């Protein structure tokens, strides 16, 4: 365990439990006692917006930095996922979070993640959209989030709308399992040109980076065109998807307009709706979405 002046780094579960017990009665009626922001590190302004909101709204904030092997497929980027712990600690310290939980994989999966008990959310939420392209991914996410909830025992937990399907699934898990935690969604933080901030943006070449804002432009196009009523929703999605796919760097995985709660695909434009996209840009998989209210 390493200590800094304001942010304490904790690497094991037993120490978090001791800390959690020490703040058990510290909550007042006005604020949640413990706020929690789970991350995989390589922190950027998107993550920090969640952390700052948690710090404003809660008495104590725990941020976790854990690259969760269970949510990566065998051919995905677990090994090369960006890691920048010292910089992350500095950012978390500046934001005023009390605890940085940074466990080694062996703390969370002492017998390996493959043989661990798993949390399986309803397939109608997990098997569509990203689930089609990342089998087992959301089971890895729900399992680690439930474990982290069980360890940190937060009153409120903050997640980005950037990962809209993930947020929907976690809200559903909390409801279905009667977890005593308020799951709070936070709007997507974007670069100036509209690209949603993501740790994976660091993998983009400079040419790809210039192109990457086309993803957000596509979402905006679908929103404007579908709301205008000039074409059917199906046509709009087809035109927008084909246009993106024609750009040499892009390979579209999905572009859909869905009900924001059930994530069922829509046949006609409605409000509210969420437009979701995933595409590979070179070797980098990017996702984004736009909520239309």
Residues at the interface with ligand AMP (CB under 6 A): 39-40, 46-47, 49-50, 159-160, 162-163, 186, 188-189, 196-199
| Residue 143 or 198 having the CB closest to ligand AMP | 198
Buried-exposed string 90-101: b where 16+ CB fall within 10 A, e elsewhere: ebbeebebbbbb
Q: At its nearest, how many Å lie between ligand AMP and the CB of residue 167?
A: 7
**CA gap 241, 221 in Å, rounded:** 11
Please indicate whether residue 47 is annotated as part of the active site.
Answer: yes
List 47, 60, 102, 137, catalytic entry = 47
Minimum CB separation of residue 170 from ligand AMP in Å reads 9
Quick one: 9 or 196, whose CB is closer to ligand AMP? Answer: 196
**Which residue number has the CB closest to ligand AMP?**
160
CB of 29 to ligand AMP, least distance (A): 27
Q: Are 159 and 167 in contact (CB under 8 A)?
A: yes
What span, in angstroms and rounded, lies between the C-alpha atoms of 214 and 278? 12
Residue 50 or 237: the one with the smaller Cβ distance to ligand AMP is 50
Q: Under a CB-based contact definition with an 8 Å cutoff, are residues 152 and 101 in contact?
A: yes
To the nearest 10°, the Cα dihedral for 147, 153, 156, 162?
A: -20
C-beta closer to ligand AMP: residue 197 or 247: 197
- Shortest distance, CB of residue 181 to ligand AMP, whole angstroms? 14
Q: Nearer to ligand AMP by C-beta: 17 or 171? A: 171
Q: How many CB atoms lie within 10 A of CB 30?
A: 6
CB of 248 to ligand AMP, least distance (A): 26
Rounded to 5°, the CA angle 216-203-219 comes to 10
The CA distances from residue 27 to 54, 119, 139, 185, in Å, are 14, 29, 32, 22
The SS3 assignment for 72 reads coil
Residues with active-site annotation = 47
């Amino acid at each position: 365990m390493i200590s800094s002046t304001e942010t304490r780094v904790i690497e094991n579960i037993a120490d978090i439990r001791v800390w959690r017990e020490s703040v058990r009665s510290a909550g007042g009626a006005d604020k949640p006692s413990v706020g929690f922001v789970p991350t995989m590190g390589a922190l950027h302004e998107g993550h920090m917006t969640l952390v700052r909101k948690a710090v404003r709204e809660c008495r104590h904030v725990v941020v976790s930095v854990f690259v969760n092997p269970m949510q990566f497929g065998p051919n995905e980027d677990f090994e090369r996922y960006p890691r920048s712990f010292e910089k992350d600690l500095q950012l978390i310290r500046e934001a005023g979070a009390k605890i940085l939980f940074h466990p080694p994989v062996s703390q969370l999966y002492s017998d390996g993640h493959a043989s661990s008990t798993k949390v399986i959310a309803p397939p109608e939420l997990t098997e569509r959209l990203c689930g089609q392209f990342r089998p087992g991914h959301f089971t890895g996410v729900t399992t680690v989030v439930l474990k982290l909830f069980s360890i940190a025992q937060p009153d409120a937990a903050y997640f980005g709308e950037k990962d809209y399907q993930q947020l929907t699934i976690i809200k559903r898990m909390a409801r279905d399992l009667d977890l005593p935690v308020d799951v709070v969604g936070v709007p997507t933080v974007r670069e100036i040109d509209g690209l949603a901030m993501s740790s994976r943006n660091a993998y983009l070449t400079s040419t790809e980076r210039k192109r990457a804002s086309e993803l957000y432009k596509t979402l905006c196009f679908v929103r404007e065109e579908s709301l205008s009523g000039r074409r059917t929703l199906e046509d709009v999605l087809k035109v927008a998807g084909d246009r993106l796919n024609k750009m040499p760097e892009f390979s579209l995985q999905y572009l859909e307009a869905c009900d924001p709660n059930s994530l069922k695909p829509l046949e006609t434009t409605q409000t509210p709706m969420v437009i979701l996209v995933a595409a590979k840009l070179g070797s980098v998989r990017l996702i984004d979405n736009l909520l239309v209210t």
